[in-house]
Structure 1
Amino acid sequence: MEDGTLCLDDGSSCFTLDGAGGLVDSDGDALFRSSPPDTAEDSNGWEDPDDWEDPSGWEDPDIQQLGAGAEEFYGCWEYQYADEWLYVRDDGTYMWYDADGYSHEGSYTVSGETLLLDGDGLSYVVRDGGIVDDYGNLMFRSVLPDVDGTALLGAEGFFGCWEGTSGGVWLTIFDDGTYEWMWDDGYGAAGSYYMEDGVLCLQSGTRFTLDEESGFIESEDDVMFPSQLPANLQ
């Protein structure tokens, strides 16, 4: 919550009360109270996909062959009604996690607007604010479970405020596993992060590496240097 406004962690929308029992989003669209459609859940709360067998013998595909729109699926997703997490990497591979930790991995391709998990025989489309599988089960953006308490190990070098070399954007990495984006005109977005092989992974799917020689952090979209928030944003 920020000054009476409900802001989603992924920065996609903010909502205010309209005074008549409904909401108004940041685009000015009105929402009224309702219930999820029947297809959003089943009698068990979640329908288990077919056997998830650990694939073998797969090879990393050429990144250029992943398909247009693959970036929409990058990052971590969590099933709405089950402790299952899908992490889609930008190198054509994915990894499954459950409440006990790592499960298995495989490769994927994107055909049209559909993500195809080659090793599991599952497909997903972007819908209902997340991604939906063949069985109608929804996954929402999330972060991997910290099953062994090591999710933040190695993050110390990322703590603090960073400013983008492209200008007008600041990222603060907190030591409690959360982050916050600020634009030059105010609040941008916030969420959680975890560490994976020395890479800091934001809930939004953005991944940062630390260049120890320069002291900068780098993602696919920007390079950021140590800084501090301007006084008007503090």
Structure 2
Amino acid sequence: MKYQITRILTDRKKAAMLAILLLLPSIEVFQILYDSLANKLELPYPLYATFLSLYSRGHVFQSLYLWFMPLYLLVIIGEDSVEDYSTGYKNVLMCRIGRSAYIKNKLKSGFLMPFATIVCGLLLNLILIQIVCQGGTHLKFDGEYMVYDAGTMPGTMLFKWSYTHPLLANLGYIFITALFCGMIGMAGVMFVIVLHDRKIVYALTFALWFFPVLLKNSFMLIFQPFSEYGLLTLLPLGMWILGLYVLILILLLVWEVKFVEI
């Protein structure tokens, strides 16, 4: 893992992409500040204006960040495997440490690097919005801060819990977002190990991520706290997508271990 981090930080393109994923959520804080000042609005309650809550106008940063997430992650963690194959270093490593250990190390970094990056980036946004919007009182909901009103607010238990426990809700959704990013990171790495072709890998990984976004109940709902959708909608959606990722990982792993020779 230490070697993987060193390879990322010493490559300008990978380091730049890592910085974008870490800093982009926090840039939105200044958009919120500007919009509030320009429109002479009270600053928002910070915990309801975090990056994942879609408080900002237009949600441009969220679309850029979440829709294209697998492409960003492949630049950071997938390019190493492409380079290993093109230089022949993959076979050297497999002969030195064994195929299983090579794949295990790649999958480990394929999950942990995206997971840690997303957690750090979203936590930075959470901290910065507390500082910038300290004392803010504006709500995009009709009601009072942390006081659930069944007459004007969505009736799901998830919304009620999230609205009355905004800090825990934000932390929970940060974890969920990081989990799915870690899973798509592993899938992308495994596609690279098996297929080697950069164009095919990027296309397949992006399709695997983005197709559920286009569904009636979009995949993106899983990442949004304070939405009107309850567990009856979000749990099945999250479970089948997670199951699909696990199935693809297993199939690719079996193919690489059982049918590909060094």
Higher relative contact order (CA 8 A, sep 6+): 2
* TM-score, structure 2 as length reference: 0.20
Higher strand share goes to which structure?
Answer: 1
Q: Which protein is richer in helix relative to its size?
A: 2
What is the TM-score when the length of structure 1 is the normalising length?
A: 0.21
Structure having the higher Rg: 2
